Amino acid sequence: MLTEQKRIRVLLCKPSLDMHSRGILVVARGLRDAGMEVIYLEASPHIGAKEIIKTALEEGVDIIGLSILSGSPKIIVSRIMAMRDQMGISDVPVIVGGIIPDEEVEELRKIGAAAIFLPGTYMETIVKEIHRLTGDQ
């Protein structure tokens, strides 16, 4: 369980070549305003599942947040979850936000996404869910 002295460390990233960054930047600012420490990994052709999980390990994050606005969320999330488990940090929750087709929301939950945030989700909801997932209620 986190204490008041330890800030929640969140890795936010865009795991595809999707360059639409407004949403993830708004979330990053909201999480910082809520007292969390945010590590932001920008979209790049060199950022894949391995790089995201390696960064999570190096930074010692409490939670990983993915922003997906294009591509196939199911494929992207399954690769990241598999790499997370392979690299030994299966206890770090992965949350997903963005444009997620309705038919993929339940599939993402089955793959292991701890929470899914669609457009219009209030920042307060995201913050509360991160606190719940990290045991800092």
Dump pLDDT digits (tens) for 3-41. Answer: 456 899 999 998 866 667 888 999 999 999 999 999 999
The tally of domains found in the chain comes to 1
Rounded to two decimals, the pTM is: 0.92
CA pair distance 69, 78, nearest whole angstrom: 16
pLDDT at 136: 77
Provide the CATH number for the domain around residue 26. 3.40.50.280
Question: What's at 134, amino acid-wise?
Answer: T
Residue 35 lies in a domain: yes
Residue 111 lies in a domain: no
pLDDT at 21: 81
Residue 129 lies in a domain: no
pLDDT over 60 (residue 1): no
Dihedral of alpha carbons 33, 36, 39, 41, sign: negative
pLDDT at 22: 83
